[in-house]
Amino acid sequence: MKKIVVLLMSLLTAGAALAAPSKPNIIYFLVDDMGFADCGFNGGKDIRTPNIDTLSAKGTVFQNYYVQPLCSAARACLMTGRLPIHNGIYGALKTDSKFGLPLDERTLPQALHTAGYTTAIVGKWHLGEFQPGYRPMQRGFDHQYGLWYGQIDYFTHERGGRIDWYRDDQPCAEPGYSTHLIAKEAVRLIQQQPKDKPLFLYVPFNAVHGPFQVPESYTEPYKNLRATRATLAGMLAAADEAIGQIMAAVKAANLDSNTLVIFSSDNGGVQPGIRTLNTPLRDGKGTIYEGGVRSAAFAVLPGVIPAGKKVSPPVRLADWYPTLVKLTGADSQQPLPLDGLDIWPLLTQGKAPDRDAFLIVGTSPQRLALRMGDWKLLVNPNQSQAGAKKDPDEEDAGPVAGTAERVELYNLAEDISETKNLAAAEPERVKAMRARLDALTQDVVPSAGAGTPQPKRGAAKK
């Protein structure tokens, strides 16, 4: 009888380990413009990222984690669970943009409020600022600290002739290197968070986005690298240090056993081969090739998400919205339909999301890609960004009007670097995949900044 009781207790304990703890704290670390192979855990050799690598080993690494080609689009997907063809944010907002994330979009922090979460953003917003209603505190965040736009001077926090640094959406003049200040504020919020209330802490670093600046001490270990690479290495090392400080605060507050940590870039690496490393992926930021839309990423939740594991089914930023809403018990009623799917069964049970096709949206409604299994179809892919000197944030989003449509097809299992276009050799596959792509994009909306009224929001596609 005693042995039976012990066995039952053991089984109950094992079952409890598979269930998510009640309302875990959530931290999302988003590194700006990081390359696919810049971190050690994802193949990097020349930049030291010990805190990120140690953290990744405690959780599950995504092998096919899709983001967006540019900054604002990625953030919009994360905040809404919807793709650019439905939320209208395809690229990167500029300093003079007179639009932002549409106000009828429900955001992740707004949803998490219904589950009792304190919500905070510490870092780069980049989803609208030209009117108060578009700013973070009006979009569901209880606390805000950092920059509204991007491309600020890391030391003076200026961009476009004025300081872009705020606390709770009010101008804030605080001296210091921005990555250091972001870490300090995140630690403060963790230390002050009431123990009986869960926290959603969104930490979108402006590092390693340009301008490329870092205290000289961070580049000292990288004098063997070319100057452009050494500066970026120092910037990523500073971000790694910041993540280490934030996670130390989580542990000191005894929150580490009940905190879900997510890590990724917002888009592919900028200027691959010059600054970042996207090996073995083709091209980088701004493109719909793998190097522009695929990120190093992982998720950690001790005792729930397996440690030291890798998962291969494709997932994307937009999947976190429904995943976190369900995980936390937040109100799931949506004013607009979602594109993301719940990926918790994938993380905890290895069960792939139920979708036969995976849509990838580029920097305009005309730049699209579709994955079906190992096959990837691209329509109007960008010209190569390899060696580009201009940041894709500042470039035109779509194909030139009147140019012929370009279609490419690759088998990613055999050709992850997308070097051999098989479109001419596989006409029937191209035809079938193009038909599926057209079906998934019937209700596409124009850019939120196009200056024309958006059509009625249609049903989201998976």
Which residues participate in catalysis according to the annotation?
A: 71, 126
Surface-to-core class of residue 64, CB atoms within 10 Å of its CB (0-12 exposed, 13-18 middle, 19+ buried): middle
The number of beta carbons lying within 10 Å of the beta carbon of residue 20 is 18
Query: Pairing state of beta strands 143-147 and 118-124?
Result: parallel
Which one-letter DSSP state was computed for residue 277?
-
Q: How far is CA 217 from each of CA 96, 231, 428, rounded to the nearest angstrom?
A: 35, 11, 57
8 Å CB contact between 363 and 286: yes
Intra-chain end-to-end CA distance of the chain, in Å: 51
User: Residue 305: CA atoms inside 13 Å, Cβ hemisphere, count?
Assistant: 28
H-assigned helices in 206-289: 227-252
The number of beta carbons lying within 10 Å of the beta carbon of residue 9 is 10
Token pair 């542990």 is found at 251
Cα 131 to Cα 30: distance, rounded to the nearest angstrom: 25
**What DSSP string runs through 402-438?**
TPPP-EEEEETTT-TT--S--TTT-HHHHHHHHHHHH
Cα 328 to Cα 181: distance, rounded to the nearest angstrom: 29
One-letter identity of residue 82: R
8 Å CB contact between 117 and 199: yes
One-letter identity of residue 413: A
Structure-block tokens of residue 187: 């630690």
Token pair 């979602």 is found at 338
H-assigned helices in 315-462: 320-328, 344-349, 427-440
Structure-block tokens of residue 82: 């919807």
Dmax (CA) of the chain = 80
Token pair 């403060």 is found at 188
Which residues touch 333 (CB under 8 Å, ≥6 apart)? Answer: none
Token pair 């090739």 is found at 289
